[in-house]
Structure formats: structure tokens, C-alpha cells
Amino acid sequence: MTATTTSRPDARPSTRDLLTRPDTRRRVVDRLMAVVVTSAFLIALVPLVSVIWTVLGNGIERLSPYFLVVSMRGVFGGMDAGGIYHAIVGTLMVTGFATLISVPVGLLTAIYLVEYGRGRLARAVTFFVDVMTGIPSIVAGLFAYALFAIFFGPGVRFGVVGAVALSVLMTPVVVRSSEEMLRLVPNELREAAYALGVPKWLTIVKVVLRTAVGGIVTGVMLAIARVIGETAPLLITLGVIDSINYNLFEGRMMTLPVYVFRQYSQGLVPCAPEAADCIATINYDRAWAAALVLIAIVMLLNLGARLVARYFTPARGH
Amino acid sequence: MAQRIDVKDLDVYYGTFHAVADVSMMIEARSVTALIGPSGCGKSTFLRTLNRMHEVIPGARVDGTVTVDGVDLYDPAVDPVAVRRQIGMVFQRPNPFPTMSIAENVLAGVRLNNRRISKSDAADLVETSLRGANLWKEVKDRLDRPGSSLSGGQQQRLCIARAIAVKPQILLMDEPASALDPISTLAIEDLIAELKNDYTIVIVTHNMQQAARVSDRTAFFNVAGTGEPGRLIEMDDTRTMFSTPSVQATEDYISGRFG
Amino acid sequence: MSTSDTPPVRQEDDDLQAARRPHRDTAGRVFAGLSTGAGTLILVVLAAVAAFLLLRAWPALTAGSEELAAISWIPDHGSIVRYVGPLVFGTLVAAVLALLMAVPVAVGIALFISHYAPRRLAASLGYVVDLLAAIPSVIYGLWGGLWLSRRLEGVWGWLADNLGFIPLFEGPAATPPRVMMTVGVVLAVMILPIITAVAREVFLQTPRLHEEAALALGATRWEMVRMAVLPFGRSGLISASMLGLGRALGETMAVLMILSPGLTYSFALLLAGRHQTIAANIALQFPEASPLGVSALIATGLALFVITLAVNMAARWVVARRKDFSGAN
């Protein structure tokens, strides 16, 4: 109806018609797309809620203080026993060591990019940091393995190898977030320090880093949250083991994500009908419980990162 | 097809902020009405309520009536999308769609209603609209080039061509020449003088000389202070407003004593 | 941003002055050297990744077919290239499938957050979607393997029964559905937050001028999105999809824990034992592999590295080009 007016101006409908009778097709399409767009968001909520719900529902039963403080040593078949202590130890040590490598390298690289970097080298670093963010985690594992196999021969598996693999994944994340934070530090602060005769490196250490510390800590926590759930590179660099290992430099180590995978892949236990002490789904139960612990750690890190960010923001905002 | 606009007791709010208070005015058909006043006096806000563009900002609402040809634009039965089609708008900075060619830009509004417009109809419409915007001679050989390849003044005329291509009844212009150089400004002003034969035009401008040159009637808005609503101080024939305004504030503003 | 942190500078003025003179040159130079060194180290590491993979893959790349045949999981009469082929195929199928499912939903979510949801809610809604990215992939694997696959069984069965004439949905659908289609769904969920995050940023940057131009012509909200938002965000969307693709290509655990592997060039997404991806294959075979087997696996890893590198570089290139474009305007 309104369409016809473009070709026949004399037969123009009244203003009231023009204003109150909108094109039904267009209105329907508009409403329909609003529904589609909204439901896209709701669709995304389905897996999120379902993952958290199933992990919580299936994991909570087996989760107990006992589960947290024992390893899998001497546990077999459908025994109602075993826990994740060795995996927690391994996860903390390996991730901790990876953090020790990644934070200095990542932070210094960020400082280089923001404070020193000019020209081709800086552009190359920026570009390849981006590219490095996209390295598949399993390739990082292969790289760490290939590197250490040169010195220790094939079949090498110990904590540091895994930590190196994780730091390949973690460093670019630290660089990106720290760089962003350092760029937020206003230039007037730097100039104020220079005006006092403070040399550049001290300005960076005492003024720039101190101003950006909240954001940097947030970024590091998010980076840890990202790599603490990595499974594939640790599977091939640390292997699997049932007992506790406190030594990063020797012997296989268990970590939480690998533990989840290990329990999952062992599958159902064939129980004899008369065996009272045999739980057929024990491996899955342990996998769910360990997954719950893992999710809790990751969510706590995310939450902590947000709190740190919030705690430091007002100081910078006013 | 040009219509006059009858505004009665109009109040505009953004959330709790009272932006414009108690405006009543009559805007004549086939004439140019200029809205002038210092920054923050609500003249642009008021202009946007004439085609319900202010509703783009969350929390904006309006009391009062804006009547066009006997229909209140704020009647619940009225569709804001249809209002904007009948009452076109040209903005301060030229805003052709960067991914569309010149011809596509002109047809952008038309295609919304009439997908299957024939090739020759489309070509005719592009030509008449661009001629109407005094741009045809400059761009007829490069209609398929992107709209952003034109100069600022040409882009603004392209936007006017785009607005008149949908054959609106009224054209609103929000400081259409303030981002342009003097020669382009002159071209836009000449165009406005031609367009008023077919359209009702309301133009917001910061430029006194421009208001004096292009408009038939002028409305002066003022604001008492920050946080206060803008108000319509007076409205009269442009010649009267610029020679013998009845309110002191108008004279002060026009003669450049503030604003 | 303001200067509440200037006082510390003043307080430490004295000891800064004292500290400065003796060490000035050395300390400054050492610090500059350290940070430049760290930047260079990144480049070195990336080069080392490529070099070591190549070095370790070399034995398998040059091995004869009899030597390779000694590896139990390499089919007879195979060269390494013939072994990698189906793996690359499977990897691409999984990633493309995930992308096809994720991109439309991600665009919808990004539009919802940027243009449909109330402004005050937008930030928190974005955070909710980001939470999807925080969940470790092994948990997606667990969820997909034990929970989701059981629920999808009926859907895949229905697809095979009713659309089985299309080769993609050739039946009978495998039960349990340890098939490519299930993997695709889980991977799509995993890359959804990556694509959404970039798309959301790009859509939010749409110039208000263009949105208002569309609305002033009498466009509905959806028409405004189509006229102003989507054309503006197109290149950003392309690079976002490529980032998602890169992630899907390299994902290991979800595939390893769900897919029943096989080495064929098959498009039948509902049949088990047809496909395998490079990453999952490495994780599956690595623990038991002989030295030559490890070498063969690393050769496949090299292929994966090259593919993801190319995809990511292409994505970055699109982003960079877009920056130049908008900078020029």
C-alpha cells in the first residue's frame, strides 16, 4: 500500500492511513528477527546452565574431604575409594611453575611493546604474539616434549616439561592483557616522573607498573584460569600416575584435568553381581567430582580477577 | 503533499531530566522554519521529537501533541517507523552508507518498502532525486562509486537526495551545513530554497546569517541554566525576528551578545 | 584516569634521586635489554616451535613405507602423507561444522547484546557468555560424552530417518552417537564465546550516524541492523569466525572424549568410526607410541600447526586491514 505511492502520487492515501497502517510484512519480519536474536542468546545459555548443572549434580555426591586428601594409589576396580590429592598437587605445582615462567617474560614483553618498542621488531612481536595466541594446545605440548627430548631422550615425562608447554600458551595471554593495562596508564604520569629527573626504567618500575598493578594481576589470574584447565598438552608431557609426586623435575605427575580424562576413559567397571563393595560407575563419579573441583577453581579465579579489577579501579578512576 | 505541523504543549524528558518544556508552535507548509538558540537550549531535541527520532535514546519520552494533517504523531495507533518515512531527516554530519554506491544510497529508503522496484523505475528515481538535490550533474557518470568517495558537501546533498527519494511530506534538517565549507554551505542553502516549493522544512542552525538567509519564520529557544529545560522564547516572521524582536533575550542572542 | 598515583612519586623522590646516579646507565640499559630480550624471546620460541616440530618429524617424513607399517596404527602401504590426509580432512570437517553452527548463533547473541538488550544489562550479559569460554575443554568433553550425546541420540536418529537421502545424514545414526555431528555441536559451543566477543565489539562500534541514517529513512530495527550494523561489521565478523575456526581446528579433548575414530574421507556425519582429527589422534596415540610413532604424530602436529597458523594470520590480516580502512576515514 505505501509502496504504491512512489509511482502514483495522485492516489495518495490519507496521512492517517500512512501513519497508522504500517507495512505488515516489514513489521512481522522485524518482530520475528527480534525473537530470533533473543533466542540466540537463550540458546547460548542452555549449554552454560546444563554444563554447570550436570557437573554440580553428578559431582557433588562423591565430593568430600576424603576425596580431596587421598590419591589413587592402590585403588582399583570398583572400589569405593580414591581421591584427587595427587592431581591437585600436580595442578598447583605445574601451573605455578608455568606462571613463574610466563609472568616475567610476558610482562617484560608488554613493557617492551609499550615503553620501548618501535619499528619492525615491535610490529613483528605484536603480530606473532597474536599468532601465538592461536597455537593449538596440543602443539604446545608437542613442542615442549620435542625440546626436552633433545636433552633427556625420548619418552621424557616430568613436571617442568608440562610447565613449559603451559607457558607457551600462557605467555601471549599475559602479554596481551598487560600491554592493554600499561597503555591505560596516562602519559602525564610518566612525564611527571621524567620532570622530576627520574630515569625511564625507574619510572616504569615505580610509576607505570605500580599504577597498572591491579589490571596486570587481573590479567595474570585470567591467564592462570585459562591454562589450569588445559588437558591435552599435559597428557603428553606429564603422562598419568596414581600416586603423589612433589618433584617437578622427576617422574610423571597427575593434574586435575588429566585426572578427569583418565577416569572418564576408564569407563564403567564390570562388577560381579554379589560384590557389595563394587560401584560400576565409580570412574565416572570420580570424573564428575574432579570436574566440579576444577570448575570451582576456574570460577574462583575468574571471580577473584573481577574482584581485583573492581578493587583497583576506583583508585584509578578518581 | 507538504503538510503543516501543529505542536501543542510539548514536553520532552530524558529519564528524569526535563529537556524541553511547554513548546507550542505552528509550522507552516511549504516554508522554511529555522530553530535558533544557544547550545543546550533543546532545539535539536525538539527537532527530533517531530519525527520521533529522540526515541532512539533509551528513557526519552514526550508529553503533548504533534499533529500533522489531523493526526497526532504520538497517538498509540501511530507507528514510529511510518512517521520517520513521512518526515525525513538530514543530519549535522553527512552520513551516506559507506558500503553502498551512490545510486544504492539514494534508493536505500525506497527499497525498504518496495523491494521489487523495476530497474528503469529505480534509475528514474535516482535521477529525479539527485536532480532534486542538485547533485545529478556532478555524479551522473559515477553512480556506482561508493557514496563515501564524494566530498563533504556532495555527501550531504546525497543524504538530502536519499531523504527526498522516499517522498516525505516534511524534511527536518539538523545543522545540515555546520560541517561543510562555505561553498558547499551555499549550495545547500540554494537547495533548501528550491526544496521549500515541495516540502515543509524545519532547520536547526547555529548560524544567524544562515537562518536569516534561508528561513521564512524563525523560532528562538533559550535555556535558563544547566539542568533547566529549554523553552521556546518567541517565534515570528524571520524579518521581524531579526529586525524588531519582541523579547530582549532574542535581540541579545541575534546581535551576538551571548550564545 | 587521573593522577591519584602521583604522590608516591613525590614521596620517593629522595631515594629515587639517590638511587639514580650510580646505576643510571647500567640499570637503564639492563632493563631496556631485558624487556627487548623478552620480546625477542617470543619470536624465538615461535621459531623454535616450528623448528623442533620439523626436526622431530623428520624421521617419519623420510621413513619408507615398510618402516611406517611397523607402527600398528598406521595402515599398510602408507606413506606419512597418506596417513595425514584423512586426519586433515577430519579436522577440517569438525572445525567447519562447528563454525557453521556457531556463527549464526554468535551473530544473534552479539546483536542481542549490542542492539536489542537494555543497555544496562549488556555488560553482564556479555560476561555470562564469556563464562562459556572459561569452562575447561575436558569438562566439555565429559559433558558431551556422558550427558549431551545421550540427549542427541534421538535427534540424530530422526535426522537419519527423515533426511537420510542427503549423504551428510546417511543412516542409520550410530548409537551411542559418538559421531562427528555431536563433536560439531560441542565444538560450536566452545567457540561461541570467542566469535561472540569479537562480533559484539564490532557491532558496538557501528557509527551512530549510520544507524540514525537508517532509522530516519523509516527503517525498522532489523532493517537498521541490515543497512548499517551488519555491513559495517562484516570484516570483523570474518576475522572473528577465523579465530573461532583456529580454536576449533586445534581442540583436542572434546573430540577425543566423544568421537569414535576412523580414518576415511567420509561426509557421513552421523556414522561412527569414520573421522578423526589431528589433535585428538595425537593425544590418543602418543602415550603408547614408539619413537618413530612419536615422530609420525609430530609430523601430523606440524600439519596442524601450519593450518592454524595460516588461519590465524589470515584473521589478523583482515583485522589489520580493517583498522587501516577505518583509520583512513
Check if A36 contacts C (Cβ < 8 Å).
yes
Band of residue C324 on the pLDDT scale cut at 50, 70, 90: very low
Q: What is the residue-level pLDDT of chain B in tens, covering all 259 positions?
A: 678 899 999 999 998 899 999 999 999 999 999 999 998 888 999 999 999 999 888 888 999 999 998 889 999 888 888 899 899 999 998 989 988 899 999 999 888 877 678 889 899 999 999 998 889 999 999 998 888 889 988 999 999 999 999 888 899 999 998 888 888 899 899 999 999 999 999 999 988 889 999 999 999 999 888 888 999 999 999 999 999 999 999 998 988 877 6
* Domains of chain C in sequence order: 63-325 (1.10.3720.10)
Cell of B165: 527519494
Q: Do C316 and A41 touch (CB under 8 A)?
A: no
We find that the CATH architecture of domain B5-96+169-255 is 3-Layer(aba) Sandwich (3.40)
Q: Do B51 and C216 touch (CB under 8 A)?
A: yes
Residue C226: partners with Cβ closer than 8 Å, 6 or more residues away: none
Q: Do B83 and A7 touch (CB under 8 A)?
A: no
Q: For residue B178, count other CB atoms closer than 10 A to its CB.
A: 14
The minimum CA-CA distance between B37 and chain A, rounded to whole Å, is 31
Q: Is the pLDDT of residue C296 over 60?
A: yes
Report the distance separating Cα A283 and Cα A270, nearest Å: 11
User: What beta strand segments (E) does A102-234 contain?
Assistant: none
Q: Return the residue of B nearest to A10 by Cα.
A: B1
Residue among B82, B95, B99 whose CB faces C218 most closely: B82
Query: Testing the interface with A: which of B4, B81, B128, B164 to mutate, by most A Cβ within 10 A?
Result: B81
Each residue's pLDDT tens digit, A63-83: 999 999 988 888 888 888 888
Judging contacts by C-beta atoms under 8 Å, the chain C residues touching residue A291 are 138-139, 142
Question: How many whole angstroms from its chain centre is CA A299?
Answer: 10
- B 110-149 → A contacts, CB under 8 A: 110, 112-114, 117, 121, 125
Q: Do A29 and C256 touch (CB under 8 A)?
A: no
The minimum CA-CA distance between B118 and chain A, rounded to whole Å, is 11
The minimum CA-CA distance between A5 and chain B, rounded to whole Å, is 9
Check if A46 contacts B (Cβ < 8 Å).
no
Cell of A16: 492517517
Mean pLDDT of C202-228: 91
C240 in Cβ contact with C198 (< 8 Å): yes
Upper half-sphere CA count for residue A80 (Cβ side, 13 Å):
8
Q: State the DSSP H helix or E strand holding residue C82, giving kind and residue range, or none if neither.
A: helix C80-111
Nearest Cα to Cα of residue A156 among A164, A169, A166, A147 = A147
Sheet holding B230-237, edge to edge: B71-72, B60-68, B5-14, B17-27, B230-237, B217-223, B32-36, B200-204, B170-174, B87-90
Report the distance separating Cα C22 and Cα C141, nearest Å: 58
- pTM as predicted: 0.86
DSSP state of B214: H
Report the distance separating Cα C286 and Cα C155, nearest Å: 34
CA distances from C299 to C62, C93, C250, C296 (A): 11, 20, 15, 5
Q: Do C301 and A139 touch (CB under 8 A)?
A: yes
Nearest Cα to Cα of residue C187 among C252, C241, C130 = C252
Each residue's pLDDT tens digit, A270-316: 888 877 778 888 999 999 999 999 999 999 999 998 888 888 765 54
Q: Is the pLDDT of residue A19 over 90?
A: no
Domain map (residue ranges) of chain B:
5-96+169-255
Q: Return the residue of A nearest to B164 by Cα.
A: A6
